[in-house]
């Protein structure tokens, strides 16, 4: 049985999607903790409703980022997880933290990386006039929104899209993409070779990309 810790900053919708997939698909894994970086994170209530243990390491209580990350590491390591999942976790993590968890730290970003790293991805996609937008699951690297790409979901950009409508479709794609990628990790089917991710033993219908069909 693999153990998972989820880090959140907000409402935790990807955490909920992951928890529901674990329940419905009966993977050999369990979420052993949900840690928020602020006590107001709405995802803490949602975690409690799902019966998941939640806790807070409030970034505002630390004068320096390294002090916050040290406390966060202690909270994570006390749970001894096999995998740490960033689910809307809005803190930039320093190199020592990333190196400590290298190979077992996953993130989801709302763009088709390497396009549009950082914030305001949907606005920037619309301003750039791209025809396709989406989301990316990747192993976390030292640079922001960098690291080997595990899987991506593509979403068409419509002529009448605004930030809100595009964001909603991307989020729906994220809720399919992230559980898929996490399951591959849990099953031991992901390998990183030469900076690229390889999916081992692909099964019928499996691919490292999704075309979003949610209306």
Taking the complete model, does pTM exceed 0.85, yes or no? yes
pLDDT reported for residue 33: 98
Range 4-9 average pLDDT: 98
Q: Name all contacts of 113-122 with Cβ < 8 Å and 24+ positions apart.
A: 113/138, 113/145, 113/146, 113/149, 113/152, 114/146, 117/144, 117/145, 117/146, 118/144, 118/145, 122/163, 122/166, 122/167, 122/170
**Domains, the chain:** 2-211 (3.40.50.170)
The dihedral region occupied by 80, where left means phi > 0, alpha psi between -120 and 50, and beta the remainder, is left
Q: Give Dmax over CA atoms of the chain in angstroms.
A: 51
pLDDT reported for residue 34: 98
pLDDT reported for residue 3: 98
Range 93-118 average pLDDT: 97
pLDDT (tens digit, 9 = 90+) per residue, 156-204?
999 999 999 999 999 999 999 999 999 999 999 999 999 999 999 999 9
pLDDT at 128 over 70: yes
pLDDT (tens digit, 9 = 90+) per residue, 30-88?
999 999 999 999 999 999 999 999 999 999 999 999 999 999 999 999 999 999 999 99
Please name which of 109, 206, 215, 112 lies closest in space to residue 161, comparing C-alpha atoms: 215
Q: What's the pLDDT band for 213 if we cut at 50, 70, 90?
A: low
Token readout for 45 is 């209530």
Residues recorded for the chain: 215
Q: What's the pLDDT band for 89 if we cut at 50, 70, 90?
A: very high
**d(Cα 190, Cα 200) in Å, to the nearest integer?**
6
Range 7-12 average pLDDT: 97
Strands 105-109 and 132-139: antiparallel
pLDDT at 214 over 90: no
pLDDT at 215 over 60: no
pLDDT reported for residue 102: 95
* Count of other CB atoms within 10 angstroms of residue 116: 21
The dihedral region occupied by 64, where left means phi > 0, alpha psi between -120 and 50, and beta the remainder, is beta
pLDDT reported for residue 39: 97
**d(Cα 136, Cα 4) in Å, to the nearest integer?**
19
- Which residues are marked as active site? 109
């Amino acid at each position: 049985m693999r153990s998972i810790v989820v880090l959140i900053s907000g409402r935790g919708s990807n955490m909920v999607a992951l928890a529901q997939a674990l329940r419905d698909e009966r993977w050999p894994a369990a979420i052993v903790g949900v840690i928020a970086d602020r006590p107001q994170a709405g995802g803490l209530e949602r975690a409690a409703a799902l019966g998941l243990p939640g806790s807070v390491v409030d970034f505002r209580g630390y004068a320096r980022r390294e002090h916050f990350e040290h406390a966060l590491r202690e909270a994570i390591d006390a749970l001894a997880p096999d995998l740490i999942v960033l689910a809307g976790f809005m803190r930039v993590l320093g190199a020592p933290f990333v190196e400590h968890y290298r190979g077992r730290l996953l993130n989801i970003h709302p763009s088709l990386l390497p396009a549009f790293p950082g914030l305001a991805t949907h606005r920037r996609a619309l301003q750039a006039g791209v025809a396709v937008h989406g989301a990316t699951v990747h192993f976390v690297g030292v640079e922001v929104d960098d690291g080997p790409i595990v899987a991506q979901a593509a979403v068409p950009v419509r002529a009448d899209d605004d930030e809100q409508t595009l964001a909603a479709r991307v989020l729906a794609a994220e809720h399919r993409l992230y559980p898929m990628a996490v399951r591959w990790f849990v099953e031991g089917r992901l390998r990183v070779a030469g900076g690229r991710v390889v999916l081992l033993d692909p099964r019928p219908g499996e691919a490292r990309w999704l075309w979003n069909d949610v209306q």
